[in-house]
Structure 1
Amino acid sequence: MDTELLKVFDHHGKHTGIATREEVHSKGLWHETFHCWFISKEEDKHFLHFQMRCAEKKDYSNLLDITAAGYINAEENVADGIREVHEELGIDLALEDLIYIGCIQDEIIQDIIIDRELAHIFFYNIPNPLNYTFQMEEVVGIMKVELALFEQLWFGKIENICATGIVVDKKLRQVEVDRRVAKGDFLPHTNAYISNVLMELKKIIE
């Protein structure tokens, strides 16, 4: 398999070279990613939609994360990141379907990985119910949570909230689910990243 190469940057976003994905994570190098958040409105409430990561994934298995996200390879530009929506969710979108709000830094530092991302953030307003075809080695479901409650959960005002959606069961069927989730059920993004994403989202929906 070809080695995955990524452009790397300094803390200020200046391009400094190219490195492998393994080097990026072992050395904590800044690199570009594509983050696409699906949002919807039902009656008078707004919802965020999270992908459920596959149980077999090496990193952050079973956790809820950005609807569709991935790395922007060295030979790609930001617009190429939209491939992640089709690859992970089986949804065909064009770049003009999305709302681009800019680049937000995000750091996730664990014992085995130092993930420093220059994340290009996009929003997609879901106009109608979607039929997902999941990339099973990556994603096994989509769960939605009420935006206002998610914000309270993330910043410690409440301990758990209701999430509803679909997941793939052992017979590979998409089944509806309804469960309580806590902050620990989500990928551990920084508070600054989540705060900035929510701030930009509110500008769009208000």
Structure 2
Amino acid sequence: MEQEIVKVFNEQHEQIGTATRAEVHEKGLWHETFHCWLVNENYIYFQIRSAQKKDYPGLLDITAAGHLLAVETVESGIREVKEELGLDINVDDVVKMGMTSCSIVSENMIDNEFCHVYIYSFKHDWDSFDLQYEEVSGVVRADLNEAEAFFLGKTATLNIEGYEYFPDGQRAKIVRPVSTAQFVPYRELYVAHVIQFVKDKMFKTT
């Protein structure tokens, strides 16, 4: 299997070289990722990571995300939305929120990322998804206001609804409360900041 090569940066986001994806996680080298959140006026959407994933299997995560390869521009990351979710969108369809940094240390890796964050106004339905099953096993959503309170630490649980999808075309409805233990451990307040941006810049009501 061909190794994925990514750019390596110092803490000031200055490129200092390249390395394999495995190497940046092993050594804790800073690298770039692409995040795309699906939202609308009422909801924010999360993917369910496949049980086959090495890292954080079965946990709730950014709607679509992935590593930027050394040969790619930041905008090239939009491919992740098509690859993971089956939604055919281009970079003109998304709103750029900006870049943030994230550092997660786990048993398997040291993940130091510069995350380029984009927002997509999702106006489709559940039938629109065509998931990459080795990466994503389902998609769920949460009320935007409830999710903001949850990620600000004001509530202990968050109600989600959506579907787990299967390769044979079937899907199973999901309706349940979840806690922070069911989410990939993001940087503190990251998702709350995404929701605040969405409410202030995209769906602001007067």
Measured against the shorter chain, the TM-score band is over 0.9
Deviations 1:13-48 (A, max 9, x none): 11111011111001111111110000022xxxx211
Shift of 1:111: 2.1
Equivalent position amino acid for 1:139 in 2: V
Task: Name which of 142, 160, 181 aligns with 1:145.
Answer: 142
For residue 93 of structure 1, what is the aligned residue in structure 2? 89
The structure-2 alpha-carbon separation of the partners of 1:186 and 1:107, relative to structure 1 and needing over 3 Å to count, comes to same
For residue 184 of structure 1, what is the aligned residue in structure 2? 181
Report the RMSD for the aligned CA atoms in angstroms.
1.6
- 3-state SS of paired residue (2:40): strand
| 1:135 and 2:160 aligned | no
Matches within 5 A, 1:52-91: 52-91=48-87
- 3-state SS of paired residue (1:191): coil
- 3-state SS of paired residue (1:198): helix
Deviations 1:123-158 (A, max 9, x none): 001123251111000001100011221222223221
The structure-2 alpha-carbon separation of the partners of 1:164 and 1:13, relative to structure 1 and needing over 3 Å to count, comes to same
- Partners of 1:106 and 1:119 within 8 A in 2: yes
For residue 194 of structure 2, what is the aligned residue in structure 1? 197
The structure-2 alpha-carbon separation of the partners of 1:165 and 1:129, relative to structure 1 and needing over 3 Å to count, comes to same
- 3-state SS of paired residue (1:140): strand
Distance 2:86 2:151 in 1: 29
- Partners of 1:35 and 1:120 within 8 A in 2: yes
Shift of 1:169: 5.0
Q: TM-score, normalised by structure 2?
A: 0.92
Distance 1:27 1:33 in 2: 17
Deviations 1:82-119 (A, max 9, x none): 11111101110011010012111111111221111111
Moved over 6 A (4+): none
For residue 40 of structure 2, what is the aligned residue in structure 1? 40
Distance 1:184 1:48 in 2: 18
Q: TM-score, normalised by structure 1?
A: 0.92
The structure-2 alpha-carbon separation of the partners of 1:16 and 1:192, relative to structure 1 and needing over 3 Å to count, comes to farther
Distance 1:183 1:51 in 2: 15
Shift of 1:192: 4.4
- Partners of 2:86 and 2:131 within 8 A in 1: yes
Shift of 1:168: 2.0
Shift of 1:63: 0.4
Distance 1:99 1:177 in 2: 29
Distance 2:174 2:192 in 1: 28
For residue 27 of structure 1, what is the aligned residue in structure 2? 27
Identity %: 38
Matches within 5 A, 1:147-166: 147-166=144-163
- Partners of 1:108 and 1:114 within 8 A in 2: yes
